[in-house]
Amino acid sequence: MKINFNLNGSPVSIDAPANITLLNLLREKFGLTGTKMGCEVGECGACSILIDGKVVNSCMLLAPQVNGRSITTIEGIHDPNGGPNDLQISLVENGAVQCGYCTPGMVMAGEALLSHTLSPTEDEIRNAIAGNLCRCTGYQQIVEAIEMTADLRRRKLAGQAKKLEEVQ
Protein backbone atom coordinates (compact mmCIF):
# COMPACT_ATOMS: atom_id res chain seq x y z
CA MET A 1 0.00 0.00 0.00
CA LYS A 2 1.06 3.57 -0.55
CA ILE A 3 2.53 5.37 2.44
CA ASN A 4 3.14 9.11 2.36
CA PHE A 5 5.04 10.79 5.13
CA ASN A 6 7.75 13.26 5.96
CA LEU A 7 11.15 11.65 6.39
CA ASN A 8 13.96 13.75 7.82
CA GLY A 9 12.41 16.93 6.55
CA SER A 10 11.43 15.77 3.07
CA PRO A 11 8.11 14.38 1.87
CA VAL A 12 8.40 10.80 0.67
CA SER A 13 6.05 8.28 -0.83
CA ILE A 14 6.58 4.55 -0.95
CA ASP A 15 4.77 1.34 -1.68
CA ALA A 16 5.15 -1.11 1.16
CA PRO A 17 3.32 -4.07 2.62
CA ALA A 18 1.42 -3.65 5.87
CA ASN A 19 3.15 -6.51 7.61
CA ILE A 20 6.54 -4.90 8.06
CA THR A 21 7.59 -2.70 10.96
CA LEU A 22 8.75 0.87 10.57
CA LEU A 23 12.22 -0.39 11.49
CA ASN A 24 12.15 -2.73 8.56
CA LEU A 25 10.75 -0.05 6.25
CA LEU A 26 13.52 2.38 7.13
CA ARG A 27 16.36 -0.11 6.91
CA GLU A 28 15.31 -2.27 3.97
CA LYS A 29 13.17 -0.02 1.79
CA PHE A 30 14.90 3.29 2.39
CA GLY A 31 18.36 1.89 3.03
CA LEU A 32 18.63 4.02 6.17
CA THR A 33 20.65 1.61 8.25
CA GLY A 34 21.52 4.04 11.04
CA THR A 35 18.49 2.84 13.01
CA LYS A 36 19.46 -0.50 14.53
CA MET A 37 17.74 -3.77 15.32
CA GLY A 38 18.45 -4.92 18.85
CA CYS A 39 15.62 -7.04 20.23
CA GLU A 40 12.39 -6.44 18.27
CA VAL A 41 10.30 -6.44 21.44
CA GLY A 42 10.64 -2.79 22.40
CA GLU A 43 13.13 -3.42 25.21
CA CYS A 44 16.45 -2.05 24.01
CA GLY A 45 15.79 1.26 22.24
CA ALA A 46 18.41 0.68 19.54
CA CYS A 47 15.65 1.24 16.98
CA SER A 48 14.54 4.59 18.46
CA ILE A 49 13.31 7.28 16.08
CA LEU A 50 11.22 10.42 16.49
CA ILE A 51 7.63 10.46 15.30
CA ASP A 52 6.21 13.98 15.40
CA GLY A 53 9.03 14.79 17.80
CA LYS A 54 8.33 11.94 20.24
CA VAL A 55 10.83 9.16 20.74
CA VAL A 56 9.45 5.69 20.02
CA ASN A 57 10.76 2.22 19.16
CA SER A 58 10.40 1.80 15.41
CA CYS A 59 10.13 -1.96 15.88
CA MET A 60 6.77 -1.36 17.58
CA LEU A 61 5.13 0.44 14.66
CA LEU A 62 3.80 -1.06 11.48
CA ALA A 63 4.95 0.76 8.35
CA PRO A 64 1.52 2.11 7.38
CA GLN A 65 1.18 3.82 10.76
CA VAL A 66 3.56 6.59 9.66
CA ASN A 67 1.20 7.76 6.95
CA GLY A 68 0.84 11.51 7.29
CA ARG A 69 3.33 11.70 10.13
CA SER A 70 6.74 13.28 10.45
CA ILE A 71 9.63 10.88 11.07
CA THR A 72 13.17 11.74 12.09
CA THR A 73 15.92 9.14 12.03
CA ILE A 74 19.59 9.43 12.99
CA GLU A 75 20.34 10.32 9.40
CA GLY A 76 18.32 13.45 9.98
CA ILE A 77 20.40 14.56 12.95
CA HIS A 78 23.43 16.60 11.92
CA ASP A 79 24.62 20.19 11.74
CA PRO A 80 23.64 22.41 8.79
CA ASN A 81 26.79 21.38 6.90
CA GLY A 82 26.06 17.68 7.23
CA GLY A 83 28.61 17.09 9.97
CA PRO A 84 27.94 15.96 13.53
CA ASN A 85 25.73 18.27 15.59
CA ASP A 86 26.54 19.49 19.08
CA LEU A 87 25.06 16.45 20.84
CA GLN A 88 26.94 14.05 18.59
CA ILE A 89 30.19 15.95 19.12
CA SER A 90 29.55 15.98 22.84
CA LEU A 91 29.05 12.24 22.92
CA VAL A 92 32.29 11.57 21.08
CA GLU A 93 34.38 14.05 23.03
CA ASN A 94 33.08 12.68 26.30
CA GLY A 95 34.10 9.11 25.46
CA ALA A 96 30.45 8.09 25.35
CA VAL A 97 30.78 6.13 22.10
CA GLN A 98 32.35 2.69 22.36
CA CYS A 99 30.85 0.04 20.10
CA GLY A 100 28.41 2.67 18.88
CA TYR A 101 25.45 0.38 18.42
CA CYS A 102 23.23 2.10 21.00
CA THR A 103 24.45 5.56 20.00
CA PRO A 104 21.90 6.45 17.32
CA GLY A 105 19.09 5.52 19.74
CA MET A 106 20.72 7.55 22.50
CA VAL A 107 20.95 10.55 20.17
CA MET A 108 17.24 10.29 19.40
CA ALA A 109 16.29 9.99 23.08
CA GLY A 110 18.63 12.85 23.91
CA GLU A 111 17.20 15.09 21.20
CA ALA A 112 13.66 14.30 22.36
CA LEU A 113 14.57 15.38 25.88
CA LEU A 114 16.34 18.54 24.76
CA SER A 115 13.36 19.56 22.69
CA HIS A 116 11.41 19.60 25.95
CA THR A 117 13.91 21.19 28.24
CA LEU A 118 17.36 22.71 28.16
CA SER A 119 17.78 22.50 31.93
CA PRO A 120 17.34 18.82 32.61
CA THR A 121 18.38 17.42 35.96
CA GLU A 122 20.56 14.32 36.01
CA ASP A 123 17.50 12.33 37.02
CA GLU A 124 15.54 13.65 34.05
CA ILE A 125 18.36 12.73 31.70
CA ARG A 126 18.58 9.20 33.06
CA ASN A 127 14.82 8.86 32.79
CA ALA A 128 14.96 10.10 29.22
CA ILE A 129 17.43 7.37 28.22
CA ALA A 130 15.92 4.72 30.50
CA GLY A 131 14.53 2.99 27.43
CA ASN A 132 17.93 2.71 25.75
CA LEU A 133 20.18 -0.15 26.76
CA CYS A 134 23.92 0.20 26.56
CA ARG A 135 26.20 -2.72 27.34
CA CYS A 136 29.52 -0.94 26.90
CA THR A 137 29.62 2.44 28.63
CA GLY A 138 27.64 2.22 31.86
CA TYR A 139 25.78 5.37 30.76
CA GLN A 140 27.71 7.96 32.79
CA GLN A 141 29.49 9.60 29.89
CA ILE A 142 26.29 9.61 27.82
CA VAL A 143 24.48 11.43 30.63
CA GLU A 144 27.31 13.96 30.87
CA ALA A 145 27.27 14.54 27.13
CA ILE A 146 23.55 15.28 27.14
CA GLU A 147 24.04 17.61 30.08
CA MET A 148 26.84 19.45 28.30
CA THR A 149 24.75 19.81 25.18
CA ALA A 150 21.81 21.19 27.16
CA ASP A 151 24.16 23.71 28.69
CA LEU A 152 25.55 24.67 25.30
CA ARG A 153 22.14 25.13 23.73
CA ARG A 154 20.83 27.08 26.69
CA ARG A 155 23.72 29.50 26.49
CA LYS A 156 23.37 29.81 22.76
CA LEU A 157 19.72 30.63 23.18
CA ALA A 158 20.50 33.15 25.87
CA GLY A 159 23.11 34.68 23.59
CA GLN A 160 20.62 34.94 20.77
CA ALA A 161 18.02 36.47 23.04
CA LYS A 162 20.57 39.00 24.21
CA LYS A 163 21.45 39.90 20.64
CA LEU A 164 17.79 40.40 19.85
CA GLU A 165 17.45 42.69 22.83
CA GLU A 166 20.41 44.72 21.72
CA VAL A 167 18.98 45.09 18.26
CA GLN A 168 15.70 46.20 19.72
Partner 1 sequence: MIIENLSYTCPTDLQEAIALLSDPGVCSQALAGGTDLIIELNRGSIKADRVVDINHIPELKMIRENGRITIGAAVTFTEIIESPLLQNKALLLVKACREIGSPQIRNLATMGGNVAHASISADSLPALVCLEAEVMIQSSAGIIYIPAAEIVTGAGKTKIPAGGLIQSFEINPLPAGHRVAFERIGRRKSMSIARLSMAALGSLDANGKIETIRLVPGAAFAQFQRMKVVEDMLLGQTPTERLFCTAGQCMAQLYEAASGKRWSAEWKEKAIAAITERALRQVFGDYNEN
Partner 2 sequence: MSDYQFIGKPANNVDGFAKAMGKARYVADLQVPGMLYTQVLRSPIPHGRIIHLNVKPALKIHGVLAAITCDDFVDHGNLGWPIKDSYILAYQKVRYVGDPIAAVAAETPELARAGIEAIELELEELPGVFDLTKALNEDAPLIPLHPPVGKGNLVDRLIVRNGEPDEILSKCPVILEETYFCHHQEHAYLETEGTLAIPNDDGGVTVYSNDQSPFINRNNLMMVLGLPENKVRVIQPPVGGSFGGKDDIDYQNSGQVARLALMTKRPVRLTLTREESILASYKREAMQIKIKLGAEKDGTLRAAKVNMLADSGAYPSQTPLAAWRGTMHAAGAYRYDAVHVDTDVVYTNNGYCGAFRGFGNTEATDTIEQAIDELAFHLDRDPIDLRLQNCLHPGDRAMTGNTINHEIGLTDCLKWVREQSNWNQKRSLYSQQKTSEEIRRGIGVACYFHGSSLGGEGADYATSTLKIENDYTLTLTCGLTDYGQGSRTVFTLIAAEALGINPERIQMLRPDTQTAIDSGPTVASRSTIMGGNSTRVAGQNLNVLLVLAAANYLHCDPAQVIRAGEKYIGPNEDPITFNEVVDHALQMGLTLSSYGTWNMPHIEWHFDKGTGIPYYCYVFGAVVAEVEVDQRLGKTDVLNIWMAHDGGKIIFPQGARGQMIGGIAQGLGYGVMEEMKFNQGYPQSINFDGYLIPTALDMPAVKGTFIETHFKEGPFGAKNLAEPMLIGVAPAIANAAFQATGVRNRVTPLSYEQMLLGHDLAQPAPLKRIRAVLGAHS
* Residue numbers at the binding site for partner 1 (CB under 8 A): 1, 17-21, 40-43, 45, 48, 51, 54-57, 59-62, 64-65, 67, 109, 112, 127-128, 130-132
CB of 112 to partner 2, least distance (A): 14
Residue at 130: amino acid letter:
A
Secondary structure (3-state) at 54: strand
**Per CB under 8 A, 48 contacts partner 2:** no
CB of 21 to partner 2, least distance (A): 13
Distance CA 59, CA 51 (A): 13
Edge to edge, what strands does the sheet with 2-7 contain?
10-15, 2-7, 70-72, 48-51, 54-57
Query: Please, which residue, 34 or 131, has the CB nearer to partner 1?
Result: 131
- Angle at which helices 140-167 and 86-93 cross, to 10°: 140
Query: Please, which residue, 127 or 160, has the CB nearer to partner 1?
Result: 127
Interface mask (CB under 8 A) for partner 2, residues 103-142, using x and -? xx--x-----------------xxx-xxxxxxxxxxxxxx
**Per CB under 8 A, 5 contacts partner 2:** no
Interface with partner 2 (CB under 8 A) = 27, 31-41, 43-44, 46, 73-75, 77-78, 83-84, 88-89, 91-104, 107, 125-127, 129-143
